[in-house]
Structure 1
Amino acid sequence: MSSQKPHILVILGPTASGKTNVACNAALKLDGEIISADSRQVYKFMDIGTGKDIEEYTIDGQPIPYHLIDIKEPGYKYNIAEFQLDFIQALNDIVSRGKTPILCGGSGLYLEAALKGSSYLGIPMNEERRGELEKLGLEELQVIFEGLSEQVKRDLNNETKRRVIRAIIVDEYLKENPNFKTVDIPDFDFTIIGVDVSREVRRNKITKRLKHRVENGMIEEVEWLLQNYLTYDDLEYYGLEYKWIGQYLKKEISKEEMVRQLNIAIHQFSKRQMTWFRRMEKNGYNIHWVDGDISLKEKVDEVCNIYSAV
């Protein structure tokens, strides 16, 4: 590259696409370090349910450095503004040591927040107001969302209750602080590579992975978290695995029904991830897709070649 700006390799893909394994192997070849773009892997002890797969961060006995994993206690309400600030700090740290920054994740919201930095860094979370808003249903919150400023509605979204609440609090803060200035993201170049696994393969992987996690400690992990850190309301907040396992532990549903419903929910989540990535492309993000069904070596070689060619 002729530019002296940092050059970030971005590896994205839906859940169960194998993107973390690809990113770690690419990091080994490129002398890189991983920055996680995942809204739940920031929490300590929430390992199986969030799919951290920490063992993947060791390649041939060599540990791959990673950032923004295990940085918060369970029960903490991490938000997009904090992620952006943490991302900037991790990026500057990696670049200062001459390493290759590799941003990896499946959350389109977090990935875009890192790349464009327009989600109002530095606006604090109003805990009292959030408590009030959390008592409302999603439909009620979305009615409020429609009355927010057009700028906030463009930059944020109303796909989940948590995100609607953040948007409302941001909008109210801006009205009270009209001179607020957002924090600028450092100037950098980036190359985005997506791991594209066929729908049928992805579905099979999701189902197989869920079965393995249920049989290897995911329920016990949630039980431990309930005993030491979280409430059932917290489990609802963290969604997917935690939500459905919580309902099972409260004896609201059977284990078989929990697995069935969770499997459906993860498939739906994967579909939403792909929809977000396609929308990113429509909005001008150039995503180089690699075939997720080829061998790991072929994927990693292709990723490194694309990144190095830019």
Structure 2
Amino acid sequence: MTQEGQPKIVVIAGPTASGKSGLAVDLALSLSGEIVNADSMQVYRGMDIGTAKPTADEQKSVPHHLLDVVDPDEAFNAALYRRKALPVIADICSRGKTCLVVGGTGLYIRALLRGLMEAPPSDPELRKELHREWQRHGPGPLHERLRNIDPVAAASIHPNDRTRIIRAIEVASTSGRMFSDLTKTHGFRDLKLRALQICLHMERDLLYERINKRTQQMISMGLIEETRALLKNGYSPELKPMKAIGYRHIIRYLQGKWSLEEAIACLQRDTRRYAKRQLTWFRAEPDAIWIDPRAVDMVLDKIHRFLASAQ
């Protein structure tokens, strides 16, 4: 705990396939720690292989929290995540354990650390239209559209940050309010925790190689069978989790729309693109410390210094 009574946590973030889970387990074993999931897909039951959920052995060796929280047809979002995570973290810290928050969902981590502003509800049809426009024309036209609507927001959002660009346009279109005004009013200073934010970095070619290899491993481990079982259990391909990377690709294969080779190639491609978007998000985090995941001793040293500090 900090002097102000705020629990101290260590965040291990970074792009998919960068080695977050393995590093977190090693750190937790060294620090007498427990792990809190911050991956928006790992909260779903029955979606293990496609989400790269920690293995049974990893979960046995170190306590993990906020895995398998809801079924694929249940709603879950960043606000619910924060509501569930805060008491779990408080409990871990009250028992004198080191709390490691681990995942690649930047919005969940930001919500946990800074809170969420009250914004207008989403417009599913408008959001679909904006996503289609992004797919057809790339980021340029939408970022320019945002610049015309809300130049302050456009200046603060990276041109490749699809999620925030689309949300900013959506807010302005549905409410008539500027996204920049909402964020300024909130300030994102609902601070309940003191965090050391570590982001994992590796050379792009190595990361992409790991992504391609892990995709093949997922197929070998039974991603096709896992997806087939989800469909058999009545989960519609139209559900948001079923449209996630991995599952939507295998569904197209099972529907006969793609060959297995096409599904794997597209899965690898889309995962690489997702990793690029994650990196864009985390690079915008001002307090992030970038470290090679293989530099375990350096990570441990920074964590020990953080936990020992009064601030």
Offset at residue 185 of structure 1 (A): 4.6
CA distance in 1, matches of 2:79, 2:169: 11
Structure 2 match to 1:303? 299
* Contact 1:75 1:229 (8 Å CA) reproduced: no
Structure 2 match to 1:287? 289
Q: Quickly say closer, same or farther: Cα 1:198–1:135, change in 2 above 3 A.
A: closer
Greater shift, 33-42 or 229-238, is seen at: 229-238
Offset at residue 204 of structure 1 (A): 1.5
Instruction: Map 1:26-41 to 2 at 5 A.
Output: 26-41=27-42
1:105 aligns with 2:100: no
1:202 aligns with 2:207: yes
Aligned counterpart in structure 2 of residue 240 of structure 1, from 224, 242, 245: 245
CA distance in 2, matches of 1:196, 1:189: 22
Provide the TM-score with structure 1 as the length reference: 0.77
Counterpart residue type for residue 131 of structure 2: L
Unaligned runs of 5+ in 2: 135-141, 178-184, 307-311
* Contact 2:153 2:168 (8 Å CA) reproduced: no
* Contact 2:7 2:194 (8 Å CA) reproduced: yes
* Contact 2:33 2:99 (8 Å CA) reproduced: yes
Structure 2 match to 1:178? none
3-state DSSP class of the match of 1:233? coil
* Contact 2:160 2:277 (8 Å CA) reproduced: no
Runs (4 or more) in structure 1 with deviation over 4 Å come to: 123-126, 132-137, 139-143, 145-155, 157-175, 181-186
CA distance in 1, matches of 2:79, 2:153: 14
Aligned counterpart in structure 1 of residue 195 of structure 2, from 160, 179, 190: 190
Aligned counterpart in structure 2 of residue 67 of structure 1, from 65, 80, 99: 65
Instruction: Map 1:206-245 to 2 at 5 A.
Output: 206-234=211-239, 238-245=243-250
Q: 1:142-195: CA deviations, max 9, x gaps?
A: 79x96999999989x9966899579958997999xxxxx989855322111222
3-state DSSP class of the match of 1:240? coil
* Contact 2:114 2:189 (8 Å CA) reproduced: no
Aligned counterpart in structure 2 of residue 93 of structure 1, from 91, 103, 106: 91
* Contact 2:40 2:108 (8 Å CA) reproduced: yes
RMSD: 3.6
* Contact 1:152 1:171 (8 Å CA) reproduced: no
Greater shift, 39-48 or 134-143, is seen at: 134-143
Offset at residue 274 of structure 1 (A): 1.4
CA distance in 1, matches of 2:172, 2:233: 32
Q: Quickly say closer, same or farther: Cα 1:158–1:279, change in 2 above 3 A.
A: closer
Unaligned runs of 5+ in 1: 176-180
CA distance in 2, matches of 1:162, 1:78: 19
1:254 aligns with 2:270: no
* Contact 1:88 1:186 (8 Å CA) reproduced: no
Structure 2 match to 1:114? 112
